[in-house]
Amino acid sequence: MDTTKYIEGLFQKFIEGSLTKEEFITLMEFVRNPESESEVKELLDDLLESTTTYQELINKTSNSESKLLFNQIITQIDYKDQTGKKNNYFPIVKHIKHSNFFKIAASIALAFCLFYVYQINFIEIEETITNDVTLTLDNGEVEIISDDGDKKIKDKTGAIIGSQSGSQITYSNDIINEELVYNTLTVPNGKRFDLVLSDGTNVKLNAGTSLKYPVKFLKGKNRQVFLEGEAYFDVARDNAHAFIVTANDLNVEVLGTEFNMSFYPEDYNISTVLIEGSVKLYEKGKTNVGVNESTMLLPNYLASWNKANREISVKEVDTQIYTAWKDGMLIFRKASYRNIRKKLERHFDIIIDNQYSFLDDQIYTASFDKDETIENILDAFKGDTYFNYRRTNNLITITN
């Protein structure tokens, strides 16, 4: 796994202001890890090689929000100047050259201030973002889907194409379309939602998931949908039209089967767990895929596609671990606390700042039912490896 390449991509997205919350958390964890110090400095060095002034560096960011964030990272550094006097800001900040001091200072600023910036700015920005399920129509309009709503889903002409009942949207098979028209259902952290596609395929979307799909599949064409996040598919059988889920650069192709697929932006791997039937996995963009260019998956097996080296590994697993989320349960088997934290953040729509680095590498096996609170779960882990935590709104801070 080419971790360095992946982190470089996240860092560039940070500069461009296009990081998702999950990706920001991943980058934040990396730069705050003492073992990453040399790599963090290299990332800053590469960026600074192409700039001669602080202002040029700021100008590399893509929008006003990211300019503000990066400005705070550079300026909110606590250091002592050559006289030994403590100073919290760079001298003559608009004209400073990228000397060794600047490189080192900027690296330290990035490592130690990313979390500060995240708490002060990202959380404030996030509070203005809706925590509702949203449906993006083909014309770009976004509709809010309330958890207990009962409404008709219409296309851009006003024609009814489906309906919502509570936490499920069902599309009609009677829609007359001559071209593919897409909707996108987005489920925020802390929620789950069900979707019935026009062919009868049932999809359960986990927290923090987005699925793009045609409102009506066309005769003679594959049934293709696009996933970011995690979803459980119960695919309606249609031998004439393959069902394809595309996530990043991976295609998972089936005719009729049940499987779970997980692809979050911060994940290094795209995971597919087969419950029944069979699926074929191959790289996106390939057609007429042969035996040597695809991987066939059998029931009770997990296929992991590594996004960095573009390779697939397969192993037998306990499928319940990967599908328990459908029933609101959380099951962990020999999982690091680092990975558990990410799942807890999505499940409860919270942010966990772990300042006790020892805890992240601890391995746990645990199960929690749907009625457990985040406090119950943290107390359970606390009973094994002691730590302190405090909660402020949706932010939980862990210390030793």
pLDDT of residue 63: 46
What band does 119 get if pLDDT is binned at 50, 70 and 90? Answer: very low
Structural domains in the chain (count): 3
d(CA 155, CA 223): 20
Q: In a 3-state reduction of DSSP, which class is residue 357?
A: helix
pLDDT at 16 over 70: no
Q: 254: left (phi > 0), else alpha (psi -120 to 50), else beta?
A: beta
All residues at 6 or more sequence positions from 140 whose CB lies less than 8 Å from its CB, including other chains: none
Same domain for 201 and 293, yes or no, is yes
In this structure, the answer to whether residues 121 and 184 fall within a common structural domain is: no
Amino acid at 285: G
Q: How far is CA 249 from CA 246, 263, 277, 303, in A?
A: 7, 11, 23, 14
Range with the lowest mean pLDDT among 2-6, 48-52, 207-211, 274-278?
48-52
Does 139 lie in the same domain as 109? no
Vertex 173: Cα angle to 171 and 178 (nearest 5): 105
53: Cβ–Cβ under 8 A, 6 or more apart, which residues? Answer: 94, 95, 96, 97, 98
Q: Are residues 57 and 113 in the same domain?
A: yes
- The answer to whether residues 89 and 153 belong to one domain is no
Tell me the CATH number at 243: 2.60.120.1440
pLDDT at 313 over 80: yes
Using one digit for the tens of pLDDT, what is the confidence trace for 137-188?
A: 888 888 888 888 888 988 877 888 889 999 999 998 888 777 888 999 999 9
Angle between the 3-16 and 37-49 helix axes, to the nearest 10 degrees? Answer: 50
- Is 0.75 surpassed by the pTM of this model? no
Residue 130: per-residue pLDDT: 54
Which of 322, 347, 363 is the C-terminal boundary of a domain?
322
Q: Are residues 166 and 302 in the same domain?
A: yes
Same domain as 343, residue 312: no
Comparing CA positions, the residue from 239, 242, 341, 250 lying closest to residue 303 is 250
- The domain in which residue 341 lies consists of 328-399
Same domain, 279 and 348: no
Quote the tokens at residue 162: 């489906």
Phi, psi angle pair for 190, to nearest 5°? 90, 0
Say if residue 368's pLDDT is above 60: yes
Phi/psi of residue 195, each to 5°? Answer: -140, 135
- 397, pLDDT greater than 70: yes
Task: Decide if pLDDT at 32 tops 70.
Answer: no
pLDDT in tens, 183-204: 999 999 999 999 999 999 999 9
How confident is the model at residue 347, as a pLDDT? Answer: 92
Tell me 235's DSSP state.
P
pLDDT at 89 exceeding the cut of 50: no
Judge if 308 and 335 occupy the same domain. no
Q: Any idea which of 48-62, 72-86, 326-340 has the lowest mean pLDDT?
A: 72-86
Whole-angstrom Cα distance, residue 190 to residue 133? 10
Q: Would you say 351 and 398 are in contact if contact means Cβ atoms under 8 Å apart? A: no
Tokens of 16: 């461009």
Residue bearing the bigger pLDDT, 240 or 79: 240
Domain boundary among 290, 322, 354: 322
CA distance 17 to 125: 13
Calpha distance 207→330 (Å, rounded): 13
pLDDT of residue 227: 94
CATH number of domain containing 335: 3.55.50.30
Q: Which of 263, 292, 322 is the last residue of a domain?
A: 322
**Co-location of 230 and 185 in the same domain:** yes
Share of the chain above pLDDT 90, in %: 30
Q: Token digits for 297? A: 């998956």
Beta partners for residue 295, in sequence order: 281
The mean pLDDT of 201-227, rounded to a whole number, is: 93
Is the pLDDT reported for residue 251 higher than 60? yes
Per-residue model confidence (pLDDT) at position 102: 44
Are residue 272 and residue 182 in the same domain, yes or no?
A: yes
State yes or no: pLDDT of 112 exceeds 70: no
Q: Would you state the structure tokens that stand for residue 352, as one six-digit string? A: 């966990």
pLDDT at 101 over 60: no
**Residue-averaged pLDDT of the chain:** 76
Looking at per-residue confidence, does 103 or 27 come out higher?
A: 27
Q: If DSSP codes are grouped into helix, strand and coil, which group holds residue 336?
A: strand
Amino acid of residue 13: K
138 and 122 part of one domain: no
Considering only residues 258 and 173, tell me which one the structure prediction assigns the higher pLDDT. Answer: 258
Q: Which residue has the higher pLDDT, 346 or 86?
A: 346
Rounded to whole angstroms, the Cα distance separating 301 from 280 reads 12
